[in-house]
Chain A
């Protein structure tokens, strides 16, 4: 029961070949096979959003996704955001990451990768969301430190093109 499976995954623009047990989730492959530990293991049952990654640009919970199901999709983890931004001609980190930095939208930082990826997915499909849309898009990402206000401000700042609060 439960043999190993050869997987070909496309992660942050690179094709990656790994062998993983049948029952492993994408989260486990990312963290324990590929050492992409920016994706966090929080509740591990779909409640906290810390394990959020983008699958073809849409936010999914990697803790509830069998790794085999991620084959054939473009996976983006927090490690891939800044390189992708630079590959598009940008400088520094992704504007959402920069905005989180400038607004101080973190304390312990554990929720931050999932929070940023959910925000990136929102801005990619809706570049100018209002506060209600931001709250709805981040509603599955729990933060126990900040009270969310600066996180919402960060997304608004990124949507405004980074102009504003320093």
Chain B
């Protein structure tokens, strides 16, 4: 790793301001940043540590559940309060990566980590995300790449926590380097790779997330997160989905497009179990109906559909039979 100066920001405003200066980069848990620096993808002169600048923990205030952006995934996964209020987020955080990664990785870092495309992550490939003219995944290995919106850049959004938070209608609270504050719905925070592969979100260069607020209407036992992976642990999902049926029904797919992908659920779910199961199956079919898979990843449509259906069933409190043969 190349030399850098390490500066610990005293507060969020300083972290926001210093992180926008020159080649500086901000570090929360560092599990993604240090990896990219060791790969030679990032060469900051200064790393701005945010561990003293970011709030941690959960609090109820007004009609919201507030989650500090510096809260680690391990803390979220262990939180009995979060398991009660937003089990989908507790499940996604508690199953991400490995125990040691989860002890360091933060919620804010999880939401804004860089994509895991192996061409983007290799310094030997100049791809569109790095200012190049080619998406190497299009003609190369792309089994883990996007099933939607993949004709320009085929990365998938890797944030495990994003689908659960978007399905719950979460809002980011941002602080700028000049002290300004604003709110941004998480559903509007990400930008598709087709617009500009080098831009991944709508935060300004001198803005950071300090808290994530979840509306009370989305809190309760009726939410779930499902990941389908090759391995049970320490693996990137083939597809993930989060459902929230506490208030307005929400379903969001992850790891299938360059941004988390909300799925319209036009009608309210039926009250009876047979009706609910058919409703969930129909929603899951719709979730992948307009996919445009690449030649080597069309097989992931089935796991994507299964993740969506299982998330809805689990959110509704219905059993999922993992041995059931999926509809072709």
Contact = CB atoms under 8 A, between A and B. Distances in A.
B234 interface: yes
A61 interface: yes
A2 B5 contact: yes
Which of B30, B45, B99, B233 has the most chain A CB atoms inside 10 A of its CB?
B99
Interface string B83-112: 000000000000001111101100000000
Nearest to A137: B99
B99 A22 contact: no
Interface string B232-245: 11100000000000
Nearest to A66: B6
Interface residues of A, number: 31
Contact of B34 (A3, A22, A64, A140): A64
A69 B74 CA distance: 18
Interface in B200-246: 232-234
A21 B233 CA distance: 35
B6 A68 contact: yes
A69 B51 contact: yes
Contact of B103 (A1, A3, A45, A59): A59
A107 interface: no
B4 A22 contact: yes
B199 interface: no
A140 B101 contact: yes
A3 B46 CA distance: 11
A118 interface: yes
Contact of B233 (A44, A59, A69, A139): A139
Interface residues of B, number: 30
A60 B74 CA distance: 11
A5 B6 contact: yes
25 contacts: A1-B5, A1-B45, A2-B3, A2-B4, A2-B5, A21-B3, A22-B4, A23-B1, A23-B3, A46-B34, A49-B98, A55-B103, A58-B103, A59-B100, A59-B103, A61-B104, A64-B30, A64-B35, A66-B47, A69-B51, A137-B99, A139-B234, A140-B98, A140-B233, A140-B234
B38 A45 contact: yes
A86 to B, nearest CB: 26
Contacts of B103: 55, 58-60
A135 B99 CA distance: 11
A140 B100 contact: yes
Contacts of B30: 64-66, 69
Contacts of B51: 69
Contacts of A21: 3
B31 interface: yes
Nearest to B35: A45
Nearest to B3: A2
A134 to B, nearest CB: 11
A21 B2 CA distance: 11
Given A5-B6, A22-B5, A140 B39 contact: no
A6 B97 CA distance: 32
B49 interface: yes
B49 A58 contact: no
Contacts of A5: 6
Contacts of A60: 100, 103-104
Given A44-B38, A69-B51, A1 B4 contact: yes
A38 to B, nearest CB: 16
Interface string A1-36: 111010000000000000001110100000000000
